[in-house]
Structure 1
């Protein structure tokens, strides 16, 4: 039955509903059919999804987008620190989603912006965008079933003396706050793996450069987990991080990897550290080479 075939192809029930009521179509051998149609070997099935409309509050704008890779299904970009991923009450304009909506409008691409991997405003690095709702659905399924590999580099306060560790602590909303999260026993399961890359001293301040791998995607997960073990991110005043060396949370998404939702090819995308983070490392290494920094190790 056509309905069973579409289920095997991971066409969601929600998608079938929108096709039925919002102007899409399902054709077998170029003839429109219902989902109860019985298929035969060699039949050709074509799905036409309804045109998408922009969500409320998403206005197309035109600005620079740092594109890493793009095809008919995906858009992989680099987001700078200070730019929101999607519009919010505090940042209704100038977000990455606004600029991508403008790009889609210029190209007559009939879809809204589907953010698969979101970053906080002050986090820099790679963001994955699905170019239609079906691709978004497939990637969301993949994230739930096998995960999308995400690695970050962070600069955290103090020296971490354990080379590798797994932080497996549940995260929930802090009482009385709509923004802040904390580790709490009734929170959602969250896991972050931490590997020390370098221990640094700069201007009398000690910090550790770490690589982090996420296995879950809770709000503020890295920031909460690192603060929980006593090493909040530099610049992260919300979670107690010192701000003398940098004025934004020192966090950059350096890579993502996943299976392409259509071709099933294994994909990996990488991003160099943002300029402000690289500048901190460069400054500390110059001092170390000049003999003005002690106990530096990599």
Structure 2
């Protein structure tokens, strides 16, 4: 994988300064030097201490990546792809990353299988926005380590994520902002809870979309990315997600998993600056629940 730039500055600077300004970490720069990468300035080998002049052309060849992922060749649903990233539609009941319970058929195993089928070489996938196993929807994947570093820098404030959720009961307000800090539940390895003191700041905006018999369809936007944030915030407000038994929701015949779907991602491609906007409609099981209720 190679990344190319033409230096647009007005005066010479050191290459290491230029690379830092492009988001290249010191760790990656060291790996390039010692583990099979390469820097080429106007077609010739160079080092970070060399100078780059206006209109010079710099090529950075990334060191080859390796992975311990076991490939799964279950097809994936790709909503967007370019040189640097993938946006994939994750079905429910599929883990985002391998775990002791799901070591060989997580979403990342499937993406690795896709890499092998496509013949992608010397790069490995890196997940940027993961979802809980029973949550469906859009997942952002960096196709190589440099893209992962840049996307992680964007993830906190500049990647807009929105969800469709089916909440228990009928939410009375049409719009609400839930700003409640979260922390681990000391009595559980899995659960999170609203923190009376301390905790990490978490904010969610909610729009009520449709009232149902004993539930409602809502759209939610995350302003922070805490674990289980939507699930905990909704449960604390008295409206746990339908099907979310961990936080007080109840399973139904129409929906036997938590009613949560990542429906929208928006961000600027970190290399080209292109605005990426991807929307995913309500999945079949959640749409069926809405129709029947």
Give me the TM-score of the superposition, normalised by structure 2.
0.92
Is the Cα contact below 8 Å between 2:85 and 2:143 reproduced in 1?
yes
* Matched-pair contact (CA < 8 Å) for 2:71–2:104: no
Tell me, in whole angstroms, the C-alpha distance in 1 between the residues paired with 2:273 and 2:22.
13
Structure 1 unaligned blocks of 5 or more: 285-298
| Cross-structure match for 1:265 | 274
Structure 1 position 239 matched with structure 2 position 247: yes
Decide which of 34, 39, 51 is 1:21's aligned counterpart.
34
Partner deviation per Cα, 1:93-121 (whole Å, 9 max, x = no partner): 21110011011122232222211111111
Secondary structure of 2:52's counterpart equals: coil
Q: What residue in structure 2 maps to residue 135 of structure 1?
A: 147
Aligned residues: 277
Partner residue, 1:10: 23
Structure 2 counterparts to residues 148-227 of structure 1, below 5 A: 148-184=159-195, 185-201=197-213, 206-227=214-235
Measured in 2, the distance between the counterparts of 1:215 and 1:247 equals 28
8 Å CA contact 1:147, 1:215 repeated in 2:
no
Residues 125-149 of structure 1 deviation map (CA, whole Å, 9 limit, x = unaligned) = 11111110111111111123x3210
> Shift in Å at residue 20 of structure 1?
1.9
| 1:186 to 1:102, Cα distance in 2 relative to 1, 3 A | same
Q: Are 1:76 and 2:87 matched, yes or no?
A: yes
Aligned partner of 1:290 in structure 2 is none
Task: Tell me by how many angstroms 1:90 deviates.
Answer: 1.6
Indicate yes or no: 2:60 matched with 1:47: yes
The root-mean-square deviation of aligned C-alpha atoms, in Å, is: 1.1
